[in-house]
Structure 1
Amino acid sequence: MADLQEDSCSSGSTTYKQVQAWTDSEIVLPWLRAHPSKWTTFVANRTAEIHHTLGKNIWRHVPSKENPADCASRGMHAPDLINFKMWWNGPEWLQKSESHWPIKTLLQDTDSEIRKSTLCHNTIINDKECNEIHELETRYSSFTKLINVTSYIKRFIAKVTKRNLNCNTFISVSEFNASVEMWIQIVQHKHFLQEVTQLRKKKLIHTNSRLTRLNPFLDQNGILRMVSRLRHADLNYNEKFPIILPDRSHFVRLLLEKIHRETLHGSAQLMLNVINRKFWIIGARNQIRQQIHKCITCYRQRAAVQK
């Protein structure tokens, strides 16, 4: 139920200066007062739509017995509806000043439908380690070589600490994937430190953050992911909740170069489709175009043939 307070202009046209919305559900009001990212996907989508359409500070509670919409949801016979004044005119107090409107103490907060997140580990990197990691990241011009070197370093550390006596020469798939995951966490920690810190504390990220519209969350491994529009589709976990990666990152440039080679120097759209199966890169299209533009093989293929 919505009440429109109108103010007539001198031209005779009618403009509305205030909208007052009412709901008879007490649990809905705490949902509307908080940021949508705090709630589960089902509630978050609906509260976000309400915020976009009407706003969150115009909602009040109306008792069910005084809610005209209640008879529509419960059903009423036509003869009874004709004489049902509340349906045609609304509750009597709505036609009076605001001082006559119902006042009731409602829930200020609720744990119902709150988004649950699990924190498995926390990585703290000091300034010296950041410099060493940055040096290792920029030392190599190949994604595969960076990951392989990282895997050998991790294997050496495990052997020194006697946690792993594996003497295999080649890097296993699990070691390779663990190193990729480690670099993803490092890059996210470097570029999205504020967002990751807030989510680890189970707080809402700042509305000015460029990740707000992505509805980000931390998975069980502490990796920052987004909730995509395909979350209800019959897809794997990475496609429904892709990993968020920043722009202007050497790690991302190496990743794009690797995908460009694996797609046999594919087009921008082909590369984007492959990337979105697991990752969501900020400004991906521009970075893909830059990667294709600086590719020597693609440059030669684009060259005009002299006739």
Structure 2
Amino acid sequence: MNNNTKTARLVTGKAKVAPLKPISIPRLELQAAVLGSRLAESVKRESDYKITKSYYWSDSKTVLAWIRSDPRTFKSFVAHRLAEIESTTTPADWRWVPSADNVADDATKGIPVNFSSTHRWFTGPSFILDDPATWPCEKRTAAPLPPSGEERIIKQVHVCVDHVNNDYLPKVERFSKYKRLVRAAATVLLSAEAFKAKLLKRKVNTEISPDHIRLAELLLIKRSQNISFADDIKTIEAGQRPPKRSPFHKLAVKLDRSGILYLDSRVKEEYNLPVLHAKEEFTRLLVHHTHAVFNHGNHQTVMNELRQRYHIIGLRSILRYISSDSRKQPGIKRFGACARGGDCK
């Protein structure tokens, strides 16, 4: 045989009956494209010939437009099948064929007339042996195809969050215990983390970790500072010195990258203490909590413990108020009344 001679022969064919469940024509055409790509892959795998180039034909402009698009922009049915087609073919391999020249229709539209060995089912369409430049070409239009109903609906949700006051955190007024407030804030962070993991199809964490607790405390401190020292923080951010009426006029303070106000220590950064105001509700809960942890002990003990972690403006006055308030509550025993080596009951 002359090397310049071209021939076309049927190697294999496959057809499927449409399902009883109603399905749209574009979906059926897409199923046919998947069937074709699978069949071609099977031929390549089983054939002894070296196949250098493959072409895939479809008379559905909708399916061809889908194949040239990103599968993620469509609903699951279309997206999964486009991903399979994309794994074995490239969009450049897919070409359009007029319905009148579509040989595949001979297998699904009844027995053709004069069905013999010379029929196009066995030799391919008439143009297949011509130069590829003369093959049918799809007429592209500038206007996009009308929506097929398979496009994924993307809803844009605009969420307005007050990052200054961290309003996504639980309100302090709703809590009477410091630990409950912190754990509620940590639960909010965990929920946001779990929601993000679910969107990214990753493993969802359902337990609050110490990192969640630490981050929740920092965010609550930041919100408390923005409530108590809003004007001073703006002044410090602008690089100016706080006015004389400000509690920071004689204090060395600085803002870190997260926007939390710290007492500037010249020793080490780990000794920098976040600044709080005693009149703010979060600080009151914190002082109440520390006072209770040390069994409502003397002022000096509680103050020493708090000053190791925070710089609280007006601490002594609020501590006196909390101490006197605890005396009025029935059932609270003083620190000195506890049995040595035992717990207060």
TM value normalised by structure 1:
0.50
Higher relative contact order by CA 8 Å / sep ≥ 6: 1 or 2? Answer: 1
Larger Rg: 2
